[in-house]
Amino acid sequence: MPPINWNTFSGELSFLFVGVGGQGIILASDILAGVGLKLGLDVKKAEIHGMSQRGGSVLSQVRWGAKVFSPIIGKGGGDFMIAFEKLEALRFCDYLKKDARVLLNDGAILPIPVIQGEASYPTNTQIVEALSSITRNVVWVNGTRLAEQLGNPRLTNVILLGALAQWLGLPDEVVLEAITERVPETYLAQNREAYFLGNHLPISQM
């Protein structure tokens, strides 16, 4: 994909954030919605609260455009997926367009049927192979491990945002401003560090 000029961008982009309750998905999608607004775009961000938080699958959707109508993407409508959990990338891949781009965090949270030994968790090779019928634009990020190295596993979300910003060529100052608006001041320095860590990852496919 050629680099986007964000000063003149007037197209539409739809992002899917998927993972498991408690991974910081809602915050990450909030920040990305804020980025869209700062870029002068119309923005909608849709999510589901409640029962799905209790260890269940979580899906948050962000749409950018000159004018956004539907807050939800619908099957086959997504341009980007940011998967905090590998299995969830497969679960929601029907929502992606052909050749959509997928940022895959190499982290697994085992669902109960797997813990019980009733089902097995797919390998990374199986996951990429399964996704390949829809897209080969898959980039792995070791967000969880990098966040642990920073001393706080909860920073995974901002590391992934950093990687996404790199992939999209977003201006750092805009993303950092959106982060500043949504993160408590005491955690700001950590989050900046996490953002740049993700933003400077050497990812060959980008």
Distance CA 52, CA 177 (A): 30
> Considering the complex, what minimum distance in angstroms separates the CB of residue 70 from other proteins?
4
**Which lies closer to other proteins via its Cβ, residue 138 or residue 166?**
138
> Considering the complex, what minimum distance in angstroms separates the CB of residue 185 from other proteins?
19
Which pair of tokens denotes residue 151? Answer: 């001393």
Residue numbers of the site for other proteins (CB under 8 A)? Answer: 20, 30, 33-34, 37, 42-57, 68-77, 87-88, 90-91, 93-94, 97-98, 109-122, 126-127, 129-131, 133-134, 153
> Considering the complex, what minimum distance in angstroms separates the CB of residue 133 from other proteins?
5
**Which lies closer to other proteins via its Cβ, residue 11 or residue 200?**
11
Q: Tell me how far CA of residue 45 lies from CA of 23, 37, 42, 70, 192, in angstroms.
A: 17, 11, 10, 10, 23
> Considering the complex, what minimum distance in angstroms separates the CB of residue 200 from other proteins?
26
Counting Cβ atoms within 10 Å, is residue 185 exposed (0-12), middle (13-18) or buried (19+)?
Answer: exposed
> Considering the complex, what minimum distance in angstroms separates the CB of residue 127 from other proteins?
7
**Which lies closer to other proteins via its Cβ, residue 47 or residue 172?**
47
Distance CA 180, CA 26 (A): 16
> Considering the complex, what minimum distance in angstroms separates the CB of residue 19 from other proteins?
10
**Which lies closer to other proteins via its Cβ, residue 114 or residue 139?**
114
Distance of CA 127 to the CA centre of its chain: 17
Residues linked to residue 17 through DSSP beta bridges, in sequence order: 60, 82
Distance CA 151, CA 155 (A): 9
**Which lies closer to other proteins via its Cβ, residue 71 or residue 169?**
71
**Which lies closer to other proteins via its Cβ, residue 113 or residue 169?**
113
Could you write out the DSSP letters of every residue in 71-132?
A: SS--TT-EEEEEESSHHHHHHTGGGEEEEEEEEEE------HHHHTTSS-PPPHHHHHHHHT
